[in-house]
Structure 1
Amino acid sequence: MAAARYHGIELDIHDFAAEPGEASPSPASLARWLNDQGAVAKGMRIRWRYLVKMNNSPPIVLMFRDGSAALMVRADAGRGIVWLRDPLSDEGEAPVAVDELRLSQVWTGDILLVKARRGESEADAPFNLAWFARIVLREKQSLRDILIASMVLSILTIVPALIVMQVVNRVVAYRSMSTLVSMIGLVVILSFYEILLTYARRELMLVMSTRIDTRMSLHTFARLLALPLEFYEREQTGRVLGRYMAIYKVRDFLTGRLMTTALDMFTLLVILPLLFYMSATLAWMTLASAGLIGLIVVLFLPPMAKVIGRTIEAEMARGSVLYETVAGIRTVKTLALEPTRKERWDEVTADVVRWKLASGRMGNWPATLVMPMDMFINRGIILVGAYLALESPGGMAAGGLMAFMMLGGRVAAPLVNLAKLLEDINEVSASLGEAGAVLNQPTETKALTTGMRPVIKGALSFQAVNFTYPGGAVRALDDVTFDVPAGTMLGLVGRSGSGKSTVTRLLQGVSRGYSGYLRLDGVELREINLTHLRRNFGVVLQDNFLFRGTIRDNITAGRPGLTIDDVVRAARLAGAEEFVERMPAGYDTWIEEGSTNISGGQRQRLAIARAVICDPKLMILDEATSALDPESEALVNANLQRIGKGRTMVIVSHRLSSLVDCDQICVMDRGRVVDIAPHAVLLERCDIYRTLWMQQNRHQNAGTDPGPTSMLAEGE
């Protein structure tokens, strides 16, 4: 943290979670965390003689064997001394001079280099072909080794043809056994080296492809996580997943067909001069035939691009239907919607089949048209060569003709693959466009990694806040103004669409395009680091999602480093301890996908435990009890008073009975604040609140005071 602060980066150590099995943070895990927080960090192992020469570097973190660390602020190679400072001490405290002997007793040899991020990183750069190229070009050493191996293999490819030529012209023609033995020895030696080089090149390509795939997957998934919630709310999930998976088509192209064709071009550069040396006439015929093949493929590129684009669109639509059906399978089963979903599946499948058939037919035309040229290269060249040999007695011998045939086929293949490569570019361009439609959306990366990290107490202040949803014509919040001191239990009530949930969205930083001032403890909310903000919030929704895993894993989802004691304390606070301990495996009980093996009330209490385990100073409960049965609701409401001690709570509920004990209740209507006061005061002076209260408690007043009931009925 001290090293990051030197570069103007404020961090919260509570956001760090060590890797599983780590007794103390490793440089690698610290570097990953710092990179996620907007810094540039790298862990490495270094020797003393190099460390002592780093006298012009910013503070360097030295890792010690007991799990602690120190900051190296200065070094003197001439005296063999480095100056260390305790990162937890005051910055004005004088550093301590340490020599190699003293440092070696505690230092692991690991250091952590930290600096501020300058410019655009791979994680933030626009997703396009250049982005992929940068990912690939980072493997410079592997690319260099593959290039060298390919060049050597290209030279070795001409050897078999030359051997065939010698065998036919010398061994067979002159019946020379000694020459045959020499050829056999040469073939064995060269074959051994070719096998070895081919294996090495495949291994290098495999390692490089794996590294590229890993780096690409990490960056793109991080980009998905950085997209704002508003994007996911307006986009169809199946379509988002379909577009995201299109990146793997681009990956396969770059590490597959593109790389293979590029490597084959080295073979072409080696073989072509030899072909022209053997027979310029036959070489020009081979090149002309391969060129015609390429021309035909290029001419069919525009119509193929259109058909391929429609095919990809149809496949994404089918994937979206599949995802929607599986995700909503409970609704499909309970409402007997199988025939409807099957009919929809048949429609999208028919669309996919139709476009795939059109794509196949379109591709069949160039494949058929190039067959005559391909046949000429493989069969016609030998006939033309034989004719030339008969017409000119001093022409190419039989062995040379066979060698030319072998090498000619190797020339045509790279040229044909190069033409087909252009065909693949159409599909890759379409895939890039689809993936870019998701990955190039504006992200929250800057908000998640920059901004202030104040100590949060929970005082809220809305000053003339206005907000309109994207595409909306009416303000969701209209000049909202109110203040809430820290430690207040605030209820938000109002009719549907009054703006209650919009207030909670703004507090969580989900929507930031508001006007006016929204302050938390006097700090404008948009100036606070978004990760820090959400870490200090506890949010419980009406329908909470639990991950597939144990109860303990779900409660500690936001803080994986917490202990079982923290889990039990949070469960007790949320009223979940009693039912968890009755389960066979206790906190290690497995929660199935969709939380099918626990009740709705149990799921809500686990969600509350997950929200309070990090001791947030501000909690938001958005209709958290509306879907519960009366018994579960009463249990959760009974715990709210205990949960609310020492923290600010914002409770959104249609059931006014659950808000009676709130310190303040804010009544909203059509995006405006109508009144804010305790329950008793609102009953006296707020018509909207009194109306809502009478409607929900009509059964209590039916026999005693029919007047207000009839008036309400008339008003409705």
Structure 2
Amino acid sequence: MAAAHFHGLELDVQDFIGEPGESSPSPATLSRWLNEQGAVAKGMRIKWRYLVKMGNSPPIVLMFRDGSAALMVNADAGRGIVWLRDPMADEAVPPVPVDEMRLGQVWTGDVLLIKRRKDQTEADAPINAAWLAKMVLREKRSLRDIAIASMTLSILQIFPPLIVMQVIDRVVNNRSMATLVSITAIVLVLSFYEVLLSYGRRELTLVLTTRIDTRISLHIFSRLLSLPLEFFERQQAGNVIGRVMAIYKVRDFMTGRLMSTFLDLFTLVVILPFLFFLSSTLAWMTVAASGLIGLLVVIFMGPVGRQFGKLIDADMKRSGVMYETIAGIRTIKTLALENSRKQEWDECTAAVVQAKLDVGRMSNWPATLSMPLELFINRGIILVGAYLVLAGSSSVGAGALVAFMMLGSRVATPLTGLAKLLDDLNEVTTSLGEAGTVLNQPTETKALTTGMRPKIKGALSFIDVNFSYPGASSKALDDVTFEVPAGTMLGLVGRSGSGKSTITRLLQGVSRSYTGYLKLDGVDLREINLNHLRRSFGVVPQDNFLFRGTIRDNITAGRPGLTIDDVVRAARLAGAEEFIERMPAGYETFIEEGSTNISGGQRQRLAIARAVICDPKLMILDEATSALDPESEALVNANLERIGKGRTMVIVSHRLSSLVNCDQILVMERGAVADIGPHEVLLERCAIYRTLWMQQNRHTANRGGANVDDAPLIAEGD
């Protein structure tokens, strides 16, 4: 934290999540986390003689054997001393000079270098061909080693044809056994080195492609998580998944066909000049035939690309139907919608099949037209060469002709492969564009990694806040102004569409495109680090999601390091302890996907426990008790005052009876504040609140003989 603070980066240690099984964070783990937080960090191991020369460097983190660390703030190579500072101590405490012997007793040799990222972060860089090329070029050392191995192999591939030429021209014609023995020894040695180099190149290529694949996968998932919630709310989930998965077609292309063609080009660079040395006439024929194949591919690139785009669209639509069917399988089974979903799937499948046929037929034309040229390269060249030898118009001998054929086939492969590579660019370009429509959306990366990290107390202030959803004709919030001190239990009520849930969305930072001022403890919400803000809140929405895993894992999802005592305390506050203890495995009970083995009320109480376990200073409950049965709701409501002790509570509920004990109740009407006050005050002066209350308590009023006007039913909720 101290080293990052030197560069103007404010980090929160609570945001750090270590690797499983690590007793103390390693430099690699810390580097990964710092890079995610907007810094540039690199862990490395260096020796003392290099460390002591880094006198003018920014603070360097030294890792100690006991899991602790220190900051090296200065060094003097002449005196053999470095100055260390305790990162947890006050900055006024002077650093301590340490020599090599004393440092060697505690230092592991690992250091962590940190600096502020000044350019566009890789996390926000657009996903395009340049980005992918940059990903590959980061592996410069591996690329260099592969290039050296490929060049060496290409040179070695020249010798077998030369040896064959010598065997035909000298050994066979002159019947020389001594020459044959010498050539055999040379062949064995060259073959050994060729096998060894081929194995090494394959190993290097495997490591390179695996590293690139891993980096792309990690980056894509991080980019997906950094997209704002508003984007996912506007898009079909299956469509998003299908478009993101298209990036893996690009990955397969880069680590497959592109890599193999790139390696074959080394063969082309080395062998092609030698072919011209053997016979310039035959060499030009080989190059010309390969060039015509490339021309055919270029001509058909546009038509094939358009057909492939239609295939991608049809496939995305079918993927959306598949995802929607699986996600809504309970509704489909309940309402017997299998036939209608099957019909829709059949129609989408027919569209995909037709698109595949169109792409295949269009791609078949360049393949068919180029086939005679490929046959000419593989078979026709030797016939032309034989004619030139028989006609006596060429200096090519029998041995040279055979050598040319052996090398010519090696040259034709990368030339035709390079031409066909252009054909693959259609699919790659289309797939990259599809993935870019999702992954190149504006992210929350800057908001998640920058901004203030104040200590949250919970005082809220809305000042002339206006907000409209994209495409809406009216405001969701219209000059909303109210203020509540820290520790207030605030209820939000109003008719459907009055803006209650919109207020909670703005508080969570889901939407930041509002006007006016929304302040938390006097600080504008947009100035606060978004990650810090959300970790400081406890949120319980109406449609809670539980992950596959144990009850304990779900309750500690936001804080994996908490103990079972913390879990039990949170479950008790949420009223979940009684049903958890009745389960066979207790807190280790496994929750299936979709939470099918627990009830809706139990799921809701587990969500409340998950929200309170991190002891947030501000809690938002958006219809959090709507799925509870009366007994469970009464239990949770009885605990609300205990849950809300020492923290601000924002409770959205259409059941006004659960808000009676709130310190303040905010009444919303068409996006504006109708009134705010305690329950008793609102019953007297707010007609909207009084109407809602009377509708929900009509049976109580009638039982008491009160005269209640027949008011039209008003839809509630949000």
TM-score tier after normalising by the smaller chain length = over 0.9
CA distance in structure 2 between the aligned counterparts of 1:676 and 1:166, rounded to whole angstroms: 101
Residue 223 of structure 2: aligned partner: 223
Residue 47 of structure 1: aligned partner: 47
Residue type of the alignment partner of 1:10:
E
Work out whether residues 493 and 653 of structure 1, in 8 Å CA contact, stay in contact via their aligned partners in 2: yes
Work out whether residues 691 and 712 of structure 1, in 8 Å CA contact, stay in contact via their aligned partners in 2: no
Residue type of the alignment partner of 1:546:
L
CA distance in structure 2 between the aligned counterparts of 1:524 and 1:471, rounded to whole angstroms: 26
Work out whether residues 576 and 606 of structure 1, in 8 Å CA contact, stay in contact via their aligned partners in 2: yes
- Quickly say closer, same or farther: Cα 1:289–1:23, change in 2 above 3 A: closer
Residue type of the alignment partner of 2:311:
T
CA RMSD of aligned residues (A): 1.8
Shift, 1:64, TM fit: 2.5
Task: Please list the CA deviations of residues 348-400 of structure 1 after superposition, one character each: whole Å capped at 9, or x if unmatched.
Answer: 11111001111111111111111222222222222222221121187433222
Work out whether residues 694 and 709 of structure 1, in 8 Å CA contact, stay in contact via their aligned partners in 2: no
- Quickly say closer, same or farther: Cα 1:167–1:341, change in 2 above 3 A: same
- Quickly say closer, same or farther: Cα 1:403–1:49, change in 2 above 3 A: closer
CA distance in structure 2 between the aligned counterparts of 1:278 and 1:53, rounded to whole angstroms: 58
SS at match of 1:710: coil
Q: Tell me which moved more, 85-94 or 345-354.
A: 85-94
TM-score, normalised by the number of residues in structure 1 = 0.97
CA distance in structure 2 between the aligned counterparts of 1:221 and 1:576, rounded to whole angstroms: 33
Q: Does 1:656 align with 2:656?
A: yes
Work out whether residues 702 and 709 of structure 1, in 8 Å CA contact, stay in contact via their aligned partners in 2: no
Shift, 1:96, TM fit: 1.9
Q: Tell me which moved more, 692-701 or 376-385.
A: 376-385
Residue 538 of structure 1: aligned partner: 538
Residue type of the alignment partner of 2:58:
P
- 1:590-601 alignment, distance < 5 Å: 590-601=590-601
CA distance in structure 2 between the aligned counterparts of 1:110 and 1:477, rounded to whole angstroms: 53
SS at match of 2:615: coil
Residue 300 of structure 2: aligned partner: 300
CA distance in structure 2 between the aligned counterparts of 1:714 and 1:670, rounded to whole angstroms: 13
Residue type of the alignment partner of 1:274:
F
- Quickly say closer, same or farther: Cα 1:393–1:51, change in 2 above 3 A: closer
Shift, 1:179, TM fit: 2.8
CA distance in structure 2 between the aligned counterparts of 1:76 and 1:406, rounded to whole angstroms: 64
Q: Tell me which moved more, 557-566 or 221-230.
A: 557-566
Residue 234 of structure 2: aligned partner: 234
Q: Tell me which moved more, 171-180 or 420-429.
A: 171-180
Q: Tell me which moved more, 248-257 or 194-203.
A: 248-257
- 1:46-65 alignment, distance < 5 Å: 46-65=46-65
Residue 522 of structure 1: aligned partner: 522
Alignment gaps of 5+ in structure 2: none
Residue 490 of structure 1: aligned partner: 490
Residue 123 of structure 1: aligned partner: 123
Q: Tell me which moved more, 6-15 or 696-705.
A: 696-705
- 1:97-496 alignment, distance < 5 Å: 97-392=97-392, 395-496=395-496
SS at match of 1:239: helix
Residue type of the alignment partner of 1:7:
H
Residue type of the alignment partner of 1:271:
I
Q: Tell me which moved more, 566-575 or 687-696.
A: 566-575
Residue 571 of structure 1: aligned partner: 571
SS at match of 2:256: helix
Shift, 1:713, TM fit: 6.8
CA distance in structure 1 between the aligned counterparts of 2:248 and 2:675, rounded to whole angstroms: 55
Shift, 1:323, TM fit: 1.2
Work out whether residues 464 and 517 of structure 1, in 8 Å CA contact, stay in contact via their aligned partners in 2: yes
- 1:20-39 alignment, distance < 5 Å: 20-39=20-39
SS at match of 1:649: strand
Task: Please list the CA deviations of residues 385-444 of structure 1 after superposition, one character each: whole Å capped at 9, or x if unmatched.
Answer: 222112118743322222222222222221111111111111111111111111111010
Residue 3 of structure 1: aligned partner: 3
Residue 632 of structure 1: aligned partner: 632
TM-score, normalised by the number of residues in structure 2 = 0.97
Shift, 1:705, TM fit: 4.3
Residue 694 of structure 2: aligned partner: 694
Q: Tell me which moved more, 153-162 or 202-211.
A: 153-162
Shift, 1:144, TM fit: 0.5
SS at match of 1:123: coil
Residue type of the alignment partner of 1:139:
E
Residue 511 of structure 1: aligned partner: 511
Task: Please list the CA deviations of residues 532-589 of structure 1 after superposition, one character each: whole Å capped at 9, or x if unmatched.
Answer: 1001000001111011111111111111122222212211221222222222222221
Work out whether residues 698 and 708 of structure 2, in 8 Å CA contact, stay in contact via their aligned partners in 1: no
Q: Tell me which moved more, 155-164 or 125-134.
A: 155-164
CA distance in structure 1 between the aligned counterparts of 2:387 and 2:16, rounded to whole angstroms: 78
Task: Please list the CA deviations of residues 647-694 of structure 1 after superposition, one character each: whole Å capped at 9, or x if unmatched.
Answer: 000000111111111111100010001000111111111111111111
CA distance in structure 2 between the aligned counterparts of 1:573 and 1:395, rounded to whole angstroms: 95
Residue type of the alignment partner of 1:131:
W
CA distance in structure 1 between the aligned counterparts of 2:407 and 2:384, rounded to whole angstroms: 16
Residue 74 of structure 2: aligned partner: 74
CA distance in structure 2 between the aligned counterparts of 1:245 and 1:345, rounded to whole angstroms: 20
Q: Tell me which moved more, 35-44 or 349-358.
A: 35-44
Question: Identity of aligned pairs, percent?
Answer: 75
Shift, 1:712, TM fit: 5.1
Work out whether residues 18 and 561 of structure 1, in 8 Å CA contact, stay in contact via their aligned partners in 2: no
Shift, 1:704, TM fit: 4.3
Task: Please list the CA deviations of residues 613-662 of structure 1 after superposition, one character each: whole Å capped at 9, or x if unmatched.
Answer: 11000000001111222122122212211101000000001111111111
Work out whether residues 492 and 667 of structure 2, in 8 Å CA contact, stay in contact via their aligned partners in 1: yes
Q: Tell me which moved more, 145-154 or 70-79.
A: 70-79
Alignment gaps of 5+ in structure 1: none
Shift, 1:706, TM fit: 6.3
